[in-house]
Structure 1
Amino acid sequence: MGRGPSIEGRKNAEDAKRGKIFTKLIREITVAARNGGDPASNARLRMGIDKALSANMTKDTIERAVKRGSGTEGADNMQELRYEGYGPGGVALIIDAMTDNPVRTVAEVRHALSKHGGNLGTSGSVAFQFARVGELVFESTSPELEEKILETALEAGADDVVSASGKITVLCAPENFESLKAGLIEAGFEPISDDVVMRPANRVAVGADDVETLSDMIEWLEELDDVQEVYHNASLPDS
């Protein structure tokens, strides 16, 4: 009888995944710290540190990333890049990356897209289909909970509240994100995810033949070391 993955094998896989997450978080903190190493006056840095703490990153690791970004521990040479393109079925994609080697990164992104029937577009080719918004997602367990979150969110500065597929999504302007999140948490509502994202204006249906290919392509892109975030406008089960 065949055996499943060993405990050691599973642990190594989990450690590798955790390492990738930490790498991306450290890059975000480092780049954010270029605009000042004090989180009190740097909203992007505050958000990066919050994410890192939620992922159980140590404060020493966070402080080193801040110092590297602010120049107190040597300069870093990371560049922020945004790629726009199309996936199978004409799905629009925005791929945000941080890299010290743009030639390598664009080659890896292009390969991931072409391997799955997609292609890179020019700058601005799909960005107009997305808007930068604060997004907080909560589990919906009852109509009463939805009503309470709706009331609290709108009073705290939300622009919209959407309920679908057992989730409540609260949307706001990026500059209101932190105060809105704090207000909802203070009221006892803990989000299952929260971030400032590129949200599509509309989601498009994907043909059954393209769903698996698209999902595989997104996973491939997210696994690339230089890719920070992948946004798309496809209507998928987890969208």
Structure 2
Amino acid sequence: MGRGPSIAARKGASDAQRGRLFTKLIREISMAARTGGAEPDTNGRLSLAISKALQANMPKDTIERAVKRAAGEGADATQEIRYEGYAPGGVAVMVDCMTDNPTRTVAEVRHAFSKQGGSLGTTGSVSYLFSEQGQIVLETGDDAALEERLLEAALDAGADDVISEDGYTEVVTTPTQFTAVQAALEAIGHPILEASVGQRPATTIAVTGDDAEAVAKLLERLEALDDVQEVYSNAELPV
């Protein structure tokens, strides 16, 4: 019987994955501070980026350095670019990047699409299928009273929708109401599993078989690119 990867190899892979995550989080913190100011209290994007970094166990001094560097004269020329395209099965994909070399980035993104049978499209080709929304997820089990409290708190704070099913409660908000809704839910004292602002598809496309495999590989390949921050799709993949 063959042996799996050694402890050192697994740790190396884990460290590399953590390093990539930290790089992306620092880029988001820096961009948020550069575009909206260095005060989290008045910059919702920065507040959310810092919250994500803390959840990933990023040291506070690393976060503070990223904010100061972005607000100072030494801020770099990184820019935000969105690429849009189609994966097999007619699946729409959006790729949000931060890069100081758009020529390199678009080549890498285009190669990822073509490698898995997809194609890069023009600006606006799929973005109309998505809208920016906040999402907060909590595990509620079969506690109907807790679900009711979460529902009331979320709606009172301005949430757009609250869905409870299969032991989980999902709260959907506009980006502007996200921080207020999150604070209202945190005040209840029940742990939040996930809190993020991103692009959500209006409808999804179910893909199976070879298409599903190709879509999954494409999304994985895109997410592994150094310049990619977020990848969104309207694919409904098999569990």
TM-score norm. by structure 1 comes to: 0.94
Structure 1 window deviating more from structure 2 (34-43 vs 3-12): it is 34-43
Residue in 1 that maps onto 2:181: 180
Cα-Cα RMSD: 1.5
Distance 1:167 1:49 in 2: 25
Q: Does 2:32 match 1:58?
A: no
Divergent runs of 4+, >3 A:
145-148, 163-167
Q: Does 2:23 match 1:20?
A: no
Distance 1:6 1:194 in 2: 34
Residue in 1 that maps onto 2:4: 4
Distance 2:131 2:75 in 1: 32
Residue in 1 that maps onto 2:100: 100
Cα offset for 1:133?
0.7
Could you report, residue by residue, the CA deviation over 1:120-147 in whole angstroms, capped at 9, with x for unpaired residues? 1111111111110111112241161433
Residue in 2 that maps onto 1:141: 141
Cα offset for 1:31?
0.8
Residue in 1 that maps onto 2:221: 220
Cα offset for 1:44?
1.0
Contact 2:141 2:166 in 1 (8 A): no
Q: Which amino acid aligns with 2:29?
A: I
Contact 1:84 1:120 in 2 (8 A): yes
Residue in 2 that maps onto 1:91: 91
Cα offset for 1:237?
4.7
Query: Residues 30, 95 of structure 1: CA spacing in aligned structure 2 closer, same or farther, 3 A cutoff?
Result: same
Structure 1 window deviating more from structure 2 (31-40 vs 157-166): it is 157-166
Q: Which amino acid aligns with 2:209?
A: A
Distance 2:98 2:51 in 1: 19
Q: Which amino acid aligns with 1:197?
A: G
Q: Which amino acid aligns with 1:199?
A: R
SS in 1 for 2:205: coil
Distance 1:106 1:168 in 2: 38
Distance 1:165 1:125 in 2: 35
Cα offset for 1:62?
0.9
Cα offset for 1:23?
0.1
Distance 1:22 1:200 in 2: 27
Q: Which amino acid aligns with 2:89?
A: G
Provide the aligned length of Structure 1 versus Structure 2. Answer: 237
Residue in 2 that maps onto 1:121: 121
Contact 2:154 2:185 in 1 (8 A): yes
SS in 2 for 1:171: strand
Distance 1:57 1:128 in 2: 34
SS in 2 for 1:27: helix
Distance 2:26 2:196 in 1: 16
TM-score norm. by structure 2 comes to: 0.94
Query: Residues 208, 162 of structure 1: CA spacing in aligned structure 2 closer, same or farther, 3 A cutoff?
Result: farther
Residue in 2 that maps onto 1:75: 75
SS in 1 for 2:138: strand
Q: Does 2:48 match 1:47?
A: yes
Residue in 1 that maps onto 2:38: 37
SS in 1 for 2:206: coil
Cα offset for 1:43?
1.4
Contact 1:149 1:189 in 2 (8 A): no
Distance 1:177 1:36 in 2: 19
